[in-house]
Amino acid sequence: MNDTVAGTQGYGVEADALAEQYESVTFEEVHGALLHLYPASPVRALDLGAGTGRDAAALARLGHTVTAVEPTAELRLHGERLHADTALTWLDDALPDLPVLAGRGERFGLILLTAVWMHLDAAERARGMRTVAALLAPGGTLAMTVRSGPVPSGRRMFDVPEDETVALAEAAGLRVAHRGGRADLHGRPGVRWSELVFSAP
């Protein structure tokens, strides 16, 4: 699917190096300040733009039933190989409409959007938020980590105002559960991460 998904620009050709980078940090390091907001008992969980499945596999080890959506075939193949011993459902699908996932009729108690949202332009973000909110089960949690700062060459990335994300989520019926930020775990100059968690009614 990645030939037709603008947000994945640059990921396929760099997949081997990126796989190493993504797996060099842990789920706990990436999500540390947010973990207490994630469901404690097993739920159906969705990792959107899962990359190599680092977080999806960690969620599965915690007992959740996990779907990993990744449109870049090269990253998905790394993920299927690296986490072959973990029960994950991998799907080739993409925001903003997630047509494959939408056709399955599932709802999720936890949705992760980690380092993905800034790849969508404004119109895609508006559509994407409606898509994602509709996938949440009642009381479900949506956790978003959004990058700002310099754009790596060859990538398609936008500056996403945090207020816009909050407004889109609220317009889709979600409530803010956490709003914060953190430094870059890889120490890249000027890179910052906004962390947002939302709850479904």
Ligand X SMILES: C[S@@+](CC[C@H](N)C(=O)[O-])C[C@H]1O[C@@H](n2cnc3c(N)ncnc32)[C@H](O)[C@@H]1O
Q: Given the rule CB under 6 A, which residues bind ligand X?
A: 5, 7-8, 11, 22, 48-51, 54, 70-72, 75, 94-95, 114-116, 119-120
Cβ proximity to ligand X: between 37 and 185 the closer is: 185
Cβ proximity to ligand X: between 37 and 82 the closer is: 82
Cβ proximity to ligand X: between 5 and 57 the closer is: 5
User: Minimum distance from CB of 140 to ligand X (Å)?
Assistant: 18
User: Minimum distance from CB of 1 to ligand X (Å)?
Assistant: 9
Give the DSSP per-residue string, 83-149: TTTS-EEEE---TTT-HHHHTTT--EEEEEEES-GGGS-HHHHHHHHHHHHHHEEEEEEEEEEEEES
Instruction: Give the torsion through C-alpha atoms of 31, 127, 166, 173, to 10 deg.
Output: -100
User: Minimum distance from CB of 201 to ligand X (Å)?
Assistant: 25
Cβ proximity to ligand X: between 44 and 54 the closer is: 54
Cβ proximity to ligand X: between 12 and 42 the closer is: 12
Which residue(s) pair with 34 in the sheet?
Answer: none
The burial class, CB within 10 Å (0-12 / 13-18 / 19+), for 126 is: middle
User: Minimum distance from CB of 78 to ligand X (Å)?
Assistant: 10
User: Minimum distance from CB of 120 to ligand X (Å)?
Assistant: 6
Q: Torsion-angle region of residue 92: left (phi > 0), alpha (psi -120 to 50) or beta?
A: beta
Which residues fall within 8 angstroms of residue 9, CB to CB, at 6 or more apart? 154, 155, 156
Please, are residues 27 and 52 in contact by the beta-carbon 8 Å criterion?
no
Cβ proximity to ligand X: between 50 and 58 the closer is: 50
User: Minimum distance from CB of 146 to ligand X (Å)?
Assistant: 11
